[in-house]
Amino acid sequence: MVSEDQIQPAVQPARDFIDLIGLELDDVSADRVTAHLTVRPDLYQPFGILHGGVHCAIVETLASVAASVWFGEDGHVVGVANQTDFLRAVRSGELRAEALPVFRGRTQQLWSVQIWDEESRLAARGQVRLQNVRSTADLGRPA
Looking at the annotation, which residues are catalytic? 60
The residues with which 130 forms a beta bridge, in sequence order, are 79, 109
Residue type for position 4: E
> Residue 84, Cα to own-chain centre: how many angstroms?
11
The residues with which 33 forms a beta bridge, in sequence order, are 28, 99
Instruction: Provide the sign of the torsion angle of the four alpha carbons 4, 76, 21, 44, taken in this order.
Output: negative
What region does 72 belong to: left with phi over 0, alpha with psi -120 to 50, or beta? left
Spatial separation of the C-alpha atoms in residues 21 and 104, rounded to whole Å: 28
The 76-86 sheet, strands edge to edge: 23-28, 33-38, 94-104, 108-116, 122-133, 76-86
